[in-house]
Amino acid sequence: MFELPSKIKNYINGEIVEPISKNYFSNINPSTGQEYSVVADSDKADVELATQAAIQAFPEWSTLPHQKRFEYLMKIAELIDKKMDYLAYAESIDNGKPLKLAKRVDIPRASANFRFYATAILHYYSQAHINERTSFNYTFKQPIGVAGCISPWNLPLYLFTWKIAPALAAGCTVVAKPSEITPMTAYLLSEIGIEAGLPKGVLNIVHGYGHKVGQSIIEHPKIKAISFTGGTKTGKTIASTAAPMFKKLSLELGGKNPNIIFADCNYDKMIKTTIQSSFANQGQICLCGSRIFVERKIYDKFKNDFVEKTRSLKVGPPLNEDTQIGAVVSEQHMNKILSYIELAKQEDGTILCGGNRKILDTPYNSGFYIEPTIIEGLHYTCRTNQEEIFGPVVTITPFDTEEEVITMANSVEYGLSATIWTENLTRAHRVAHQLESGIVWINTWLNRDLRTPFGGMKASGVGREGGFKALDFFNEDKNICVDLS
Ligand code: NDP
C-alpha cells in the first residue's frame, strides 16, 4: 500500500502549481466508486501559462545536442523504473485495472517509451540528394515548436508517454493533458520531471476537462502540432478546429477489431490468446478483438471452450493478486457498456455468459464491475457489431469462406487492428492483405515492436505513431539546396 497525493495539480514552467481558478473536481476510485483525490479544474488561462512556458523553453531545448536530450529522457525512464511499484499501484487505483497488469504492461511500457525515444534520437538522420557537380540538397529536420499531446484513460501513463517521449526527443516542448478520468500517474510524472532536472517549461501538464483544457490546447495558435489519442467523435471535433489552422495532426482513434479464427489454427494458443484479446484491461484496449469470427467447422467446440474459460475468469478488486478482471473506468462508462448489452438483446443476440454488473462485497460494493460477456446470434451489420463498446463484451459469429469473413471484418467504419489465426501461411498473408486495418497480427496479439508504424485506417485515425514516424511528426522538413556549379 502506498499513499497517493490527495490533490492533483498542474505542472507548469517546472513547478507544481494550483489551477488559476483554484477549482478542483472529484477523482473517483472505480474499484470502490468513492472519491479518493481531487483534480485541478484548469481552463484556458492555465493553458496560456503552460504554452508561454513552452514557448520560452523551446529555443534552448530544440538546439540542445541530441546526447543531452537522450540523457534527460533516460533519467526519466530510470526514475519510472525505480518507482515501478508505486506507479503501478497508482494506475490500478486510478483506472480500476488489475495491479498485476499495471506492473506487467502499463508502467514497464511507459519507461520503455522514454528509453526507446531517448536512443532513437541518437540514430535519427537527415537525407541528402546530390546532383553530380551541379547541386546538393539536404533535408533538415526542424522541431516543429510547441506540441500539444492529449491522451485517453484506458492506458493512462503508457499512452501519455507514447506521445510525450517522441515529442521531447524530437526537440519540441510540450503542453500535455491526460484524461481527466485518470490523471494520477500523469501527475506523478510531473514529480519525476522535476526530479530528473528537466529544464523549466520543456514539459507542461495541465489537468482538467477535455472541452476546457483540451479544446484550449487545440485552439491555441502557438501550438503547432496536435498528437491525440481518444474516441473517433472527439477526433472529429479536434480535426474541425485544428485543420483550418493548418496544424499538424496525428489522430489515434477508436476500433472495432475483428479476430478471425480458421479451423486449422493452433487451437490451444489461439484460445488462450483470445481470452486476453477479448478481456484484458476489461476489454478497454483499443486493440481488443471484440468481433470474433470462427470457421463453422470448429464453431461449437470454440463456443463451449471459450464460454467455459470466460466463466472461470476472476472478477474482483484490482489490488487482489488473483483478480483477472478489475473495474471498468467509471460509472458512466459502465452504464454505456451495460446499455450495449441491452441493445444486443433487443437485436436478438443470445447472452452466452456474463451480461450483468457484478456487485462485490464491501468496500467494493459500489465499484464498477461487469461480468465478461459473450454474445452470439447477431448479424454482422447490427449496431452491437458495428459500434465501439470498449468493455468486456465480445460477439461470436460463424463463417464458411474467406470471402465471407473478409466482408464481415471490413464492414465497420473502423480499421485499427485485426488478428488472424491459421497455420496456413499463404492464407494468412492473403487475408492480411485484404483487411482494412492499420495493424494485422497473425497468430499473436498485442505483440508490439516500437519501431513499427502504429495507427488505424478509416475512422480509426490519421497518421502513424511509432519508430521514426513519431519523430518525423514532431519535426518539419526543410530542404536546403546548394548550387555547386
Ligand atoms: P475521449 O475522446 O473521450 O477523450 C480523449 C482525450 O481527449 C481526453 O483527455 C479528453 O479529456 C480529451 N478531450 C475531450 N474532448 C476534447 C476536446 N473537445 N478537445 C480536446 N480534447 C478533448 O476518449 P476516451 O478517453 O473515452 O478514450 C477511449 C477512446 O480512446 C476509445 O474510443 C478508444 O478506442 C480510443 N483509443 C484509441 C487508441 C489508438 O491508439 N487508436 C488507443 C487507446 C484508446 P476528458 O477525459 O476530460 O474528456
CA distance 416 to 254: 7
Q: Does the active-site annotation cover 252?
A: yes
Answer whether 93's CB lies under 8 Å from 103's CB. Answer: no
**Same domain for 229 and 96?**
yes
Residue 112 lies in a domain: yes
Q: Whose CA is nearest to atom 46 of ligand 1?
A: 179
* Three-class HEC string of 447-475: CCCCCCCECCEECCEECCECHHHHHHHCE
> Going by C-beta distance under 8 Å and a sequence separation of 6 or more, which residues neighbour residue 24?
7, 8, 38, 39, 40, 41
Instruction: Say if ligand 1 is within 6 A of residue 328 CB.
Output: no
2 within domain boundaries: no
Residue 182 Cα to ligand 1 midpoint, Å, equals 11
- Does any domain span residue 83? yes
Task: Please check whether residue 431 lies inside any domain of the structure.
Answer: yes
- Ordered per-residue pLDDT tens for the chain, 485 residues: 899 999 999 999 999 999 999 999 999 999 999 999 999 999 999 999 999 999 999 999 999 999 999 999 999 999 999 999 999 999 999 999 999 999 999 999 999 999 999 999 999 998 999 998 899 999 999 999 999 999 999 999 999 999 999 999 999 999 999 999 999 999 999 999 999 999 999 999 999 999 999 999 999 999 999 999 999 999 999 999 999 999 999 999 999 999 999 999 999 999 999 999 999 999 999 999 999 999 999 999 999 999 999 999 999 999 999 999 999 999 999 999 999 999 999 999 999 999 999 999 999 999 999 999 999 999 999 999 999 999 999 999 999 999 999 999 999 999 999 999 999 999 999 999 999 999 999 999 999 999 999 999 999 999 999 999 999 999 999 999 999 98
HSE value, Cβ hemisphere, 13 Å, CA-based, for 157: 36
For residue 370, what is the domain's CATH number? 3.40.309.10
Cβ neighbors of 379 (< 8 A, separation 6 or more) are: 347, 385
446 shares a domain with 468: no
Is the Cβ atom of 218 under 6 angstroms away from ligand 1? Answer: yes
Do residue 369 and residue 465 come from a single domain? Answer: no
Whichever domain contains 64, its CATH number is 3.40.605.10
Query: Do 352 and 240 fall into the same domain?
Result: no
Number of domains in the chain: 2
Q: How far, in Å, is the centroid of ligand 1 from the Cα of 391? A: 15
Same domain, 276 and 399: yes
Q: Is there a domain that residue 455 lies in?
A: no
DSSP classification of residue 3 = P
User: Is the backbone peptide bond immediately before 363 cis, with ω within 30 degrees of 0?
Assistant: yes
Residues of the domain holding 111 = 7-253+460-481
- Regarding the beta carbon of 42 and ligand 1, being less than 6 Å apart is answered no
Q: Are residues 467 and 444 in the same domain?
A: no
**378 C-alpha to ligand 1 centroid (Å):** 28
Same domain, 174 and 321: no
User: Which pLDDT value is given to residue 327?
Assistant: 98
Same domain (yes/no): 126, 242: yes
Residues 356 and 399 grouped into a single domain = yes
The pLDDT, as a whole number, for residue 132 is 85
Residue nearest to atom 20 of ligand 1 (CA): 214
Residue 286 known to be catalytic: yes
Select which of 252, 295, 376, 465 is catalytic. 252
Q: Which three cell numbers stand for residue 141?
A: 529536420
Residues 283 and 330 grouped into a single domain: yes
Give the distance (Å) from ligand 1 centre to CA of residue 116. Answer: 24
